[in-house]
Structures are given as structure tokens and as C-alpha cells.
Chain A
Amino acid sequence: METRKLLKILNEPYGVSGSEDSVSDLIQELFQKHCDKVQKDALGNIIGYIPSGKKNAKKLMIDAHIDELGLIITGMEERGFLLFTPIGGTDVKILPGCEVTVFGKKPLYGVIGAKPPHLQTAGEDKKLKATDMAIDTGVLNIEDYVRVGDVAVYNSGFKALTGDYVCARAFDDRAGIAVLLNFLEAIKGKALAFDIYVCAAVQEELGLRGAKTAGFNVDPDYSITLDVTFGTSFNSTDSGSFELGKGPTICMSPSLSKELTDSLISIAKQKEIPFQYEVEEGGTGTNAWAVQTAHSGCKSALVSVPLRYMHSTCEVLNIKDVDDATKILTFFAEGGTFNA
């Protein structure tokens, strides 16, 4: 599928960490088009299998996460105000004025409101706290529609910016899922060097939980995690951020396999696919950390799409980086220079 269209479709369903069903249903359907076998495990991970047909083939697991940030309802006030706490690493400063959908008995529109600044008493600082905000649903008998524990998610869907730049609320990590799906399409009918397991993992934002059980289940020899990394912007230009449109990053870290990482790098170089070096000194904060120690352990690598404004309602990426990540992955799965 055209990447732009795929990114749009993938940002339509909601999947707040722990409540991923609507997005995992879509992924299951899309995996089924390409995989010999698709299963949903106890936590909700969707795992697809494509055999290489080779005897004693090694197992390669490729994962990306489907969950996204959101809010969980913690209480309600009269006149339709819902109290909440964020799920996942949220910058609460972005919340006032955000439009959300609350998944109660039916989806309800809401806007996040905070006390206006001119009503703050002297000495009250302007520091914003989630506990000072509420979702305004305008539903007067809100208790008939929403229960404590229901979730809400930002409304911002896919939006095209200039050229190859696009914006959405959940490119972290639907961008990785897009790479995974385009990869599945690209390897169709091709000779594979590995038995391939693709995994759309749940609950990454809560601590890599889905990837841990999926990794245990698959018990791969090699794993490649597809995630997003920080994109440079006018306000984040430090060395830990990467330019958009210059290719995905391939991460070097003591927690990742040098052998596997070097192989990805040499494929990218050989095929003249743009990429950027990313260095992490320890864990990578991604599913690669969980998968490499699952079951009997495996060699892991990490490929990331640079993303501006991560964990906001307006994450921005460049489509070329998604496509380049897909190419690297595809050449690798076909054998490349790697001696599996």
C-alpha cells in the first residue's frame, strides 16, 4: 500500500496502552493478507508467521508497538466534567485546549479545560497539573455514559504537511507498524533467509510489556525492533536528535547485537539507502530491550524513524524515512550479506 495512505489508515483506530483492541483488530486483518499464520496472545499482541521453507532456518522476529498515549478517567464532576490521569509519558503542558474522544458506552467528544490564568490567586503558580484539568464533555448525566477506568485519546488524526512531511497523533509507533506492513508486502513471494515472525506489540508505553511475552512466545534467534527516535526541530538540535528525511537511524548500543547491527549498516551502504547512526549507551528504551532477554535470549537490533514532537498531539515525520527503513529490512530478510 502507498505509505502515505497506510500511515493515514493506521492512525484512524485508537489504541491507548492496555486498550488496543480496535487497532489490533485492524492489524490482525492486515497481517492475515500476508502471513501463513496469525495469532493474538494473552496480552493482545498480534503475531504473524511467514515460513522461509528452508530447513533449519533461523527465526527472525520483527516488532513494532501498536499502543499509544491517552488518558484514563479517574472521576467525574457535575455538568459533564471528567477527571483523568495520563497513560504513558505525557507532557501535561500540551493538554489544555486538546480535543479528545472519551470511550464510554459510546464515543463522546470532549475538550480539556483548565482554570483560566486570570482567575488564579496570587502566589498560585502557572504550573499546569493534570489534577487541575478536566475533560469537558457537555453531557449533563455523564455518569450514565462513562465509568471510571474508561479511556480517552487525542482527536488529531493524519494530516499532510508540505511535501513528504506528515503529522498525526500516534506515529509513535504506527510508523514502525507501517514499516512492518510494507515489509510484509515487499517480501511476498521472495526467497527468505529466515523464518519471519512479525509482531504488533501492546503496552510498550507502560514498560515494554507486550514485547516481553511476544518475545518469549516466538523465542527468536534474531530480533529487529522498529520504533521512532527524536527528530531535530528548531528547539531540539542536540546530538540525540536526528534530521527528518535523511533516513532511519540504526542504533549502536551495548544492549544490541553488533553483528546484527553491522549487517544492517552494510546492507544500507551496499544498496545506497540513506540511514543515520544513533548511539545509546545502555538500554534503548524500546522493545529491543525486552525481546533480547525473552526466553533463551536473542541478538537484537533497532531501526528507528526520526519523529518530531514525540508524545504530543502532532507528531511529525518524513515518509521517505519510513520507506527507507522498509527497504533496509527487506534486503536484510532476503539474505543480504548476513550469514544466518
Chain B
Amino acid sequence: MLETLSNLNGVSGSEDEVRSFILSKIKADEVTVDVMGNIIAFRKGLKSHKKMMVCAHMDEVGFIISEITDKGFLKFKSVGGIDERVLISKHVTVGPDKLPGVIAVKAVHLQEKEEREKPVEEKDLAIDIGAESKEQAQKLVKIGDYAAFDTSYSLFGDRFMKGKALDDRIGCACLLKLLERNYDFDFYGVFSVCEEIGGTGAKVAAQNIRPDLALVLEGTTCSDVYKTEPHQQVTRLGDGVCIPIRDRSMVANRELVDALIACAEKNKIKWQYKHTTAGGTDGGAIHASGAGVKCAVLAVPTRYIHSPVGVASVDDYEAFLLLTEKFMEEVGGLI
């Protein structure tokens, strides 16, 4: 499931492929797609009609084609926060037909000394799909088409997974699993759009649902890589599911955070704090929606997030699945 989800393309604003797949797999009492493109899956409460919303976003970072040059190259803009230093010489697929393309790089031999050392800015890049001319390119690609990294999901090393869009197909896979049953309370599973550009999807979904409680399922940054000091390591791969206290977009509800921690401890599930306040999630839009919503985040640490290849730990992912499952059994008391 996660493999298929990761390999699908769904750059913010063009989540169609991911949405169709999720709609084909989803099990719920009622499924709707709202005006923004969010999927809202509803499971009726067995005992109460208090509302719990669990949100995972379908979209991923990528590119939007902004111009077709005279020679048939595609200029683009990044959608979502991508470190432009990772772009050159990477493989992408363009448009709904997934045309293969590459992000062009000037041959190192032709670069002046200062060019060799300076990161290339996005404005100086283009995608090459092998078009002979502007006319041919225009037949294949339209301005406003999206491009995504061309990366295949697989397992590697000692229980690690790699792929694109692990942020947040990991959350989508988990939410699909949670939707397999009914709970004591009304349960709204939201697969949101446009998280990477500011959470516009989740905002509207929350305003429509007016939940009493919300949980956001995410992939989060992990910088336990070579040459980072221990204090800079936001999370560490393999140290368990991440329970953030606060990030740039939200202060998580303390009661919920404590309940999540207690649930993890009780069930002996490995968990970790997020050690910085960088990044944001759909929680930012959800917690401040309506008259305010108690909201927390559960996340899987992902190295090289927002790059062509994300890396996550299978153990952390399993801890994430287990903690969400256990928490859903207990959370009724908090609503």
C-alpha cells in the first residue's frame, strides 16, 4: 500500500492520481470529495456523536511548468519547500502522462570557477524532455502542468525504506488503515490537498467538519545525518514515532500530547520528541479553525524530506501505525 502510494504523483494542486487511488481503497460509511479536492471519509460513532478528525495530506512537493522555451525546454517553479541545491541532474516525470525528463545541468567542464562552487538557482534551471522544438514540446506539455520527482519506493539496508513523497503518503496509508473500523465517536478521515503550500485543504475541511478533536498524521524532518551535531538532530531515525510539542505552525494541545505519550509508554511503543520547532503541518490550519480545535501531530521521521529520495525507518513507521491504532481506542475519553 505504502509503496503504491509513494510511487503515485500528486504535487500540490494536482492530487488526482492519489485521490483516485485512495477513493478506490477507502472503506467508510460515507465518502465525499469537497470543493477543494479533499477526501472526507466518515465513520459513524457507535456511542457518541462527538467528532474526531484525523488528517493526512495527499500532496507532495514538486514543480509547476511555467514556460516553454524557444528550444523546447521547460522552465518551472518549485511547489512547496524544496532545497534548490538538490535539483540539478535529477530525474522527473512531467504532466498526467508522466513524460520522462531531467533537470538540466551545465557540463562541469563548461562552468566558470565561481559557477562550479555556487549552488544553481531554480531560475537558471529547466527540464529537458528531449523535445526537438518549442512546437513539439507544446504538443506534449502545457504551461501549468506539474512535474514530480521520478523515484521508486523500495526497502533497503537494515529495515529502512526510501522513496519520494513519504511525506505524507505514510500518513495516508495509516489513515486508510484507521478507516477500516468504526469507533465510539464520529470519525472523520481527511485526505487533504495543498498542505505543502500552506494547508488550504485542511483549513476548509476543518471548517466544514468542526471537529472536537484532531490528530494530524505526518512525515517530519530528520537530520541525524553526517556532520550534524546531536543538538541539531530534530529527530533520529529508528528512535520511534515522533510526538511534536510545537512547530512553526502550531502549539500542540498538551492534554493530547500527554495522552499520546502515556499511550506509547503503556503499550511499550518507541517514541521521540521533535527537538526543534521547524516546519509546519495541517495542524496549523486545523487548530485555529472555527472556535479552535484541540489538535496534536504524530509523525514519522524522514531524512532528506522534500528531496527526490526520502528515507524512513520501517520500525518507526510500525510504531506510528501501532500508536495511532492504540490511541484511537483510548481517545474517546478525551473528546
Q: Which residues of A contact B (CB under 8 A)?
A: 77, 79-81, 83, 89-91, 93-94, 96-99, 108-109, 111, 113-119, 126-128, 132-134, 136-140, 156, 159-167, 230, 232-236, 238, 240-241, 245, 308-314, 316, 318
Chain B, Cβ-Cβ closest to A241? B110
Q: Across the interface, which residues of A come within 8 angstroms of B106, CB to CB?
A: 233, 235-236, 309
Complex formed: what's the CA distance from A314 to B90 in Å? 7
Given contacts A167-B100, A230-B110, 11 further A-B contacts (CB under 8 A): A93-B116, A96-B307, A113-B225, A115-B225, A138-B160, A140-B157, A162-B129, A309-B102, A309-B104, A314-B91, A316-B130
Known: A139-B157, A314-B89. A233 touches B140 (CB 8 A): no
The answer to whether the Cβ of B180 comes within 8 Å of any Cβ in the partner chain is no
Complex formed: what's the CA distance from A193 to B4 in Å? 58
- Report whether A136 and B119 are in contact in the complex, using a CB–CB cutoff of 8 Å: no
- Report whether B157 and A138 are in contact in the complex, using a CB–CB cutoff of 8 Å: yes
Q: Across the interface, which residues of B come within 8 angstroms of A113, CB to CB?
A: 225-226, 303-304, 311
Query: Which chain B residues numbered 14 to 32 have a C-beta less than 8 Å away from chain A?
Result: none
Count of inter-chain pairs, beta carbons less than 8 A: 193
Chain A, Cβ-Cβ closest to B233? A119
Q: Which of B73, B88, B107, B307 has the largest number of chain A CB atoms within 10 A?
A: B107
Complex formed: what's the CA distance from A28 to B159 in Å? 39
- Report whether A138 and B156 are in contact in the complex, using a CB–CB cutoff of 8 Å: yes
Complex formed: what's the CA distance from A126 to B118 in Å? 8
The answer to whether the Cβ of B309 comes within 8 Å of any Cβ in the partner chain is yes
Cβ contact of A234, chosen from B69, B88, B132, B136, cutoff 8 A: B69
- Report whether A162 and B99 are in contact in the complex, using a CB–CB cutoff of 8 Å: yes
Q: Across the interface, which residues of B come within 8 angstroms of A161, CB to CB?
A: 99-102, 128-130
Cβ contact of A94, chosen from B89, B131, B311, cutoff 8 A: B89
Min distance, Cβ A340 to any Cβ of chain B, angstroms: 34
Min distance, Cβ B269 to any Cβ of chain A, angstroms: 21
Min distance, Cβ B111 to any Cβ of chain A, angstroms: 7
Known: A138-B156, A161-B129. A89 touches B104 (CB 8 A): no
- Report whether A245 and B132 are in contact in the complex, using a CB–CB cutoff of 8 Å: yes
Complex formed: what's the CA distance from A162 to B124 in Å? 23
Min distance, Cβ A157 to any Cβ of chain B, angstroms: 10
- Report whether A127 and B118 are in contact in the complex, using a CB–CB cutoff of 8 Å: yes
Query: Which chain B residues numbered 99 to 158 have a C-beta less than 8 Å away from chain A?
Result: 99-111, 116-120, 124, 126, 128-132, 136, 140, 151, 154, 156-158
The answer to whether the Cβ of B71 comes within 8 Å of any Cβ in the partner chain is yes
Cβ contact of B89, chosen from A164, A238, A240, A312, cutoff 8 A: A312
Complex formed: what's the CA distance from A113 to B233 in Å? 14
Query: Which chain B residues numbered 63 to 107 have a C-beta less than 8 Å away from chain A?
Result: 69, 71, 73, 83, 85-86, 88-91, 99-107
Chain B, Cβ-Cβ closest to A161? B130
Q: Across the interface, which residues of B come within 8 angstroms of A117, CB to CB?
A: 83, 85
Min distance, Cβ B116 to any Cβ of chain A, angstroms: 7
Q: Across the interface, which residues of A come within 8 angstroms of B104, CB to CB?
A: 233-235, 308-309
Chain A, Cβ-Cβ closest to B141? A162
The answer to whether the Cβ of B13 comes within 8 Å of any Cβ in the partner chain is no
